[in-house]
Amino acid sequence: MPTLPLPPTPPDPFAAAARLLAAHTDRITALEERVRALEAERGPTLDDFRPMTTREAADLLRVSPTFVLTLIERGVLARVPFMGSRVLIPRQSVVRLVTEQSTPDDLAAVDSRSDAPNDAVDAVDADLESDGG
């Protein structure tokens, strides 16, 4: 009895997609570099100065919003004054924390500190109380 030939194996769709993407990788990389250069030339925008909520800061730092409030209470992060009960954090304060205190030991030291008051917030509160506000 004769053996039947096996049907040809279909081409791998992922290999075909990889070949198509490989042809454009250099162009994509060049475009990404150009975008980064344009952003650097542009300078800061209003979005760079928009304050962050505790949730946004927590997501960026990969901690809980409660820990962000602890960082504010201990003076590690600044708080936008005169916002009533709403807590907003200057974006530069979060960037400074990430760039200057990027090791887990630094944050652990913050967590183990005594409950030191946030001097800036306390000073504003004292001024408001003395003005009768």
Q: What average pLDDT does the segment 34-46 reach?
A: 80
Q: Which residue has the higher pLDDT, 106 or 1?
A: 1
**What pLDDT, in 10s, does the model give residues 108-119?**
555 554 444 445
Q: How far is CA 127 from CA 56, 117, 121, in A?
A: 29, 16, 10
Q: What average pLDDT does the segment 47-76 reach?
A: 90
Distance of CA 16 to the CA centre of its chain: 36
Q: What average pLDDT does the segment 71-94 reach?
A: 88
How many CB atoms lie under 10 A from the CB of residue 124? 14
